[in-house]
């Protein structure tokens, strides 16, 4: 009996008996499992045998020297069982065995024929099984087989020719194989790119035609992959050769230039940068940093990844206006004329600028003020900044802060980032080419904030005269003096601006224009500008004062003049069209012409207000918005109930509290107002502020709410042409509120 101690199922498997009678065509032979390879008939395969069971198998071979070589399904299995092996293998002859120093064996085997492994008779010390010879189907000698054989041979020759690892002798052997089945076996055993699974599939195919078709597909795929690989290698090799050629030529050019006493391009570039650094007028610490980077640049190869980054950094340092100022001696009288020429009124702003010029004349080294113009749209905040720059004889720079969320847009990105650049402040100073421009920051109240940082916090350093003389951009990483820059910020309202930032600025409020001021601005600025922009002449169109006032009253409701200019522009374009159509008569802008070209009246008239306030419980209030003043209706109504009080109209917390205060005052003064002190017990009161889709807040509607409640409860109508504003207290006092001019303009 055989040793069964290693049998996982602990089954007793008897030793094979030599005189056992086997069916014809079957033999009992030892089985040698192999990993990651398949032995084909007529192929010679050297094997390294290292497993104990396999070594015993080879050592116990008799004179017959016949074994069955079977491939494992999974190469990682160290002790294979019958289920781990394929059922089709190859009968092989062992020609030579060489013992290795590590106790393994080097065995030369030659495949004889395909066999089918039937039954395993023993598992230890090595496998032995009954095998049956597999007879191949006789190859058809028809034209299809011949065509397949020729195609397979051609593909194999092309693969061998294009492969650096396959020997040309393989072509000679393949050409001299006449049998198609044997040719397929030879090619399959010679191709290292075929996987063990693919080789096993070919081994198991007995039909020669199918075997030819199978290897033909593999060869076609392998040839395509090989051609693509060769193409890629050729392209890479060409690129490498080109780079080497350029490097060789560049080195030759350097050597020639050295012999001639000339500088190469890199040296000339370095010298040019050094001259720029010397001429830039940098502070000593900045110059030291620039020269340090220049020395580093000189040691770099132009092909280095950091070369262009370092060169760009040095160029930024060299072109900035470190010491270049406008240097103009400003004439205060001329500056006043320029300001008056460009803008009507705005006396407070003009006085502040002229005061600054006067002090600067006495003390040239003074720091520039930080101004913030706050006012509704269209009152001339941005254009005023341009006029200030013109009056000072300075360059004008402007950035828009509206919607800015990333702090790096102001302070720049660090040089470690790909595509890094300085921030908008440094970039605009480079464009201005002076270190003392008028720098306008528009829409400072619309700054954003998210995970990328807080731009408002970055502005704290920029807008602080005590800090901005050492402003450090993230990209430059050296201090730059911003103290000579005249910073001007603009905003529609102050509330969104953080308190620390607001504290660093001198707030100058620009209020809206009254009708007379708008008429003056229209005749002095808007009408001449629109006539010129639309290609007509003053002789072709006339704007009577009556027509201009009609446009202001019925087609614009704004604190500024932006919509007024648009409407004037519309009238000019209509006249330009009339001229293009052949109508050469002068256009006089009357009420009728305005209605014809601009359409129906767009702003409510007195009759509309009178219609809405003709019943008790309705009062007209005045509100302030970032766009200017506006009229606000307060509507109150009552119904039978139990003292309920409802407030609607998308009201903020402050406005709701004002309503509660107004109701409390009315209840506490009911007797003086001629009301029943218990009026709320049998009533529900509802106060609504149209329009319901617009958010509203603030305390200034308190007196209007109290008036609406008294009107409702007494049944007396509020005068239709009376509007009011003010915060009411519980004692009945009306407190002052802001935005009076805008509110008066809205009432007017």
The helix (H) or strand (E) run that includes residue 628 is strand 628-640
Which among 199, 395, 518, 743 is annotated as catalytic? 743
Question: Which of 113-127, 380-394, 568-582, 732-746 is least confident?
Answer: 732-746
Residue 250's contacts (CB-CB under 8 Å, 6 or more residues apart) are none
pLDDT score, position 677: 74
Q: Name the packing angle between helices 284-298 and 265-279 (round to 10°).
A: 180
Question: Which of 54-63, 207-216, 314-323, 329-338 is least confident?
Answer: 329-338
Contact 594, 555 (CB under 8 A): yes
Task: Assess whether pLDDT exceeds 90 at residue 68.
Answer: yes
Tell me the per-residue pLDDT of 621-669, one tens digit each, with 9 for 90 and over: 887 776 567 778 888 888 888 888 888 888 888 888 888 888 888 888 8
Does residue 611 or residue 635 have the better pLDDT? Answer: 635
Q: What are the residue ranges spanned by the domains of the chain?
A: 26-133, 143-229, 265-319, 332-495, 515-598, 607-747
- CA 371, CA 440: separation in Å to the nearest integer? 9
Does residue 520 or residue 64 have the better pLDDT? Answer: 520
Task: Assess whether pLDDT exceeds 80 at residue 62.
Answer: no
Task: Assess whether pLDDT exceeds 80 at residue 4.
Answer: no
Tell me the per-residue pLDDT of 293-306, one tens digit each, with 9 for 90 and over: 888 888 887 777 78
Task: Assess whether pLDDT exceeds 70 at residue 79.
Answer: yes
| Environment class of 713 (CB within 10 Å of its CB; exposed 0-12, middle 13-18, buried 19+) | buried
pLDDT score, position 19: 37
pLDDT score, position 11: 36
Binned at pLDDT 50, 70 and 90, residue 13 comes out as very low
Which residues sit opposite 621 in a β-bridge?
632, 724
- CA 698, CA 558: separation in Å to the nearest integer? 20
Mean model confidence pLDDT for the chain? 83
- CA 160, CA 167: separation in Å to the nearest integer? 7
Residue 341's contacts (CB-CB under 8 Å, 6 or more residues apart) are none
The arithmetic mean of pLDDT across residues 225-231, rounded, is 86
Task: Assess whether pLDDT exceeds 50 at residue 10.
Answer: no
Task: Assess whether pLDDT exceeds 90 at residue 33.
Answer: yes
pLDDT score, position 356: 80
pLDDT score, position 567: 92
Task: Assess whether pLDDT exceeds 90 at residue 69.
Answer: yes
- CA 172, CA 577: separation in Å to the nearest integer? 90
pLDDT score, position 635: 86
Which among 358, 700, 731, 748 is annotated as catalytic? 700
Identify the CA nearest to 617 among candidates 523, 538, 716, 703.
716
pLDDT score, position 17: 35
The percent of residues in the chain predicted with pLDDT above 70, rounded, is 90
Task: Assess whether pLDDT exceeds 70 at residue 746.
Answer: no
The arithmetic mean of pLDDT across residues 47-54, rounded, is 89
Sign of CA dihedral 361, 363, 368, 371: negative
What is the three-class DSSP state of 46?
Answer: strand
pLDDT score, position 5: 33
Tell me the per-residue pLDDT of 459-509, one tens digit each, with 9 for 90 and over: 888 888 888 888 999 999 899 999 888 899 999 888 888 888 888 888 888
Binned at pLDDT 50, 70 and 90, residue 108 comes out as very high
Helix residue ranges per DSSP H, 633-674: 653-668
User: Is 743 an annotated catalytic residue?
Assistant: yes
The helix (H) or strand (E) run that includes residue 632 is strand 628-640
Q: 367-393 burial, b if ≥16 CB within 10 A, otherwise e?
A: bbbbbbbbbbebbbbeebbebbbbbbe
Tell me if the domain spanning 143-229 has CATH number 1.20.58.1480.
Answer: yes
Task: Assess whether pLDDT exceeds 60 at residue 16.
Answer: no
Tokens of 451: 């995970």
* CATH number, span 26-133: 2.30.130.40
The percent of residues in the chain predicted with pLDDT above 90, rounded, is 13
- CA 312, CA 306: separation in Å to the nearest integer? 10
Binned at pLDDT 50, 70 and 90, residue 15 comes out as very low
Tell me the per-residue pLDDT of 340-374, one tens digit each, with 9 for 90 and over: 888 887 788 888 888 888 887 787 777 777 889 88
Q: What is the pTM of this model?
A: 0.57
Max CA distance (Å), the chain? 136
What is the three-class DSSP state of 322?
Answer: coil
The arithmetic mean of pLDDT across residues 17-27, rounded, is 54
Architecture category of domain 607-747 in CATH: 2-Layer Sandwich (3.30)
Mode of pairing for the β-strands spanning 396-400 and 479-480:
unpaired
What is the topology classification, in CATH, of domain 515-598? Helicase, Ruva Protein; domain 3 (1.10.8)
Binned at pLDDT 50, 70 and 90, residue 28 comes out as confident
* CATH number, span 332-495: 3.40.50.300
Tell me the per-residue pLDDT of 138-178, one tens digit each, with 9 for 90 and over: 656 678 888 888 898 888 888 888 888 888 888 888 888 88
Tell me the per-residue pLDDT of 534-556, one tens digit each, with 9 for 90 and over: 999 989 999 999 999 889 888 88
């Amino acid at each position: 009996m055989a040793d069964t101690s290693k049998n996982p199922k602990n089954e007793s498997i008897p030793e094979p008996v030599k005189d056992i009678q086997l069916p014809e065509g079957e033999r009992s032979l030892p089985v040698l499992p192999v990993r990651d390879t398949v032995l084909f008939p007529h192929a010679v395969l050297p094997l390294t045998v290292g497993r104990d069971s396999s070594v015993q198998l080879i050592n116990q071979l008799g004179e017959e020297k016949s074994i069955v070589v079977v491939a494992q399904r999974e190469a990682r299995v160290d002790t294979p069982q019958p289920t781990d092996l394929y059922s089709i293998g190859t009968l092989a002859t062992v020609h030579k065995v060489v013992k290795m120093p590590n106790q393994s064996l080097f065995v030369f085997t030659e495949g004889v024929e395909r066999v089918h492994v039937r039954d395993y008779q023993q598992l230890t010390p090595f496998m032995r099984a009954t095998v049956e010879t597999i007879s191949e189907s006789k190859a058809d000698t028809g034209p299809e087989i011949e065509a397949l054989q020729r195609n397979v041979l051609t593909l194999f020759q092309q693969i061998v020719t294009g492969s650096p690892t396959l020997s040309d002798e393989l072509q000679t052997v393949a050409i001299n194989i006449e049998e198609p089945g044997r040719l397929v076996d030879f090619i399959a055993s010679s191709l290292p790119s075929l996987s063990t699974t693919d080789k096993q599939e070919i081994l198991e195919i007995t039909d020669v035609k199918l075997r030819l078709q199978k290897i033909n597909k593999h060869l076609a795929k392998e040839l395509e992959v090989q051609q693509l690989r060769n193409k890629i290698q050729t392209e890479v090799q060409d690129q490498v050769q080109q780079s080497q050629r350029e490097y060789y030529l560049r080195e030759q050019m350097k050597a020639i230039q050295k012999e001639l006493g000339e500088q190469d391009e890199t040296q000339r570039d370095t010298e040019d940068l050094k001259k720029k650094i010397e001429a830039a007028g940098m502070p000593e610490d900045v110059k030291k940093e620039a020269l340090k980077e220049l020395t580093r640049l000189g040691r770099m190869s132009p092909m280095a990844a950091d070369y262009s980054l370092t060169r760009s950094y040095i160029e930024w340092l060299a072109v900035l206006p470190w010491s270049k100022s406008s240097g103009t001696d400003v004439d205060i009288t001329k500056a006043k004329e320029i300001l008056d020429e460009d803008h009507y009124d705005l006396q407070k702003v003009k006085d502040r600028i002229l005061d600054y010029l006067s002090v600067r004349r006495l003390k040239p080294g003074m720091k520039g003020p930080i101004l913030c113009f706050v006012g509704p749209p269209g009152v001339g905040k941005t254009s005023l900044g341009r006029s200030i720059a013109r009056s000072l004889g300075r360059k004008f720079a402007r950035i828009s802060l509206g919607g800015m969320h990333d702090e790096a847009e102001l302070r720049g990105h660090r040089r470690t980032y790909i595509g890094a650049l300085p921030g908008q402040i440094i970039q605009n100073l480079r464009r201005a080419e002076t270190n003392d421009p008028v720098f306008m920051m528009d829409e400072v109240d619309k700054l954003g904030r998210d995970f990328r940082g807080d731009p408002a916090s970055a502005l704290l350093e920029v807008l602080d005269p005590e800090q901005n003389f050492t402003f450090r951009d993230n990209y430059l990483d050296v201090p730059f003096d911003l103290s000579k820059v005249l910073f001007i910020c603009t905003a529609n309202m102050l509330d969104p601006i953080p308190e620390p930032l607001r504290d660093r600025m001198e707030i100058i409020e620009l209020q809206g224009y009254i009708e007379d001021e708008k008429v003056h601005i229209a005749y002095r600025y808007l009408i001449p500008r629109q006539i010129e922009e639309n290609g007509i002449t003053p002789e072709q169109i006339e704007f009577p004062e009556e027509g201009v006032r009609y446009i202001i009253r019925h087609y614009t409701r704004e604190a500024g003049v932006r919509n007024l200019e648009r409407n004037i522009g519309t009238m000019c374009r209509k006249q330009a069209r009339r001229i293009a159509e052949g109508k050469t008569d002068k256009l006089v802008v009357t009420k009728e012409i305005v209605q014809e070209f601009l359409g129906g009246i767009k702003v409510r008239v007195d009759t509309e207000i009178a219609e809405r306030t003709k019943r008790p419980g309705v009062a007209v209030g005045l509100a302030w918005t970032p766009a200017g003043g506006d009229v606000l209706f307060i509507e109150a109504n009552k119904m039978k109930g139990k003292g309920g009080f409802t407030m609607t109209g998308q009201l903020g917390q402050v406005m709701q509290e004002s309503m509660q205060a107004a109701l409390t005052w009315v209840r506490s003064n009911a007797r003086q107002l001629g009301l029943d002190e218990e009026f709320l017990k049998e009533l529900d009161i509802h106060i609504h502020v149209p329009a319901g889709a617009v958010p509203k807040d603030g305390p200034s509607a308190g007196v209007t709410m109290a008036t609406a409640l008294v009107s409702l409860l007494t049944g007396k109508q509020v005068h239709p042409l009376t509007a009011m504003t003010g915060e009411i207290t519980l004692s009945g006092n009306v407190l002052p509120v802001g935005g009076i001019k805008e509110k008066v303009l809205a009432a007017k």
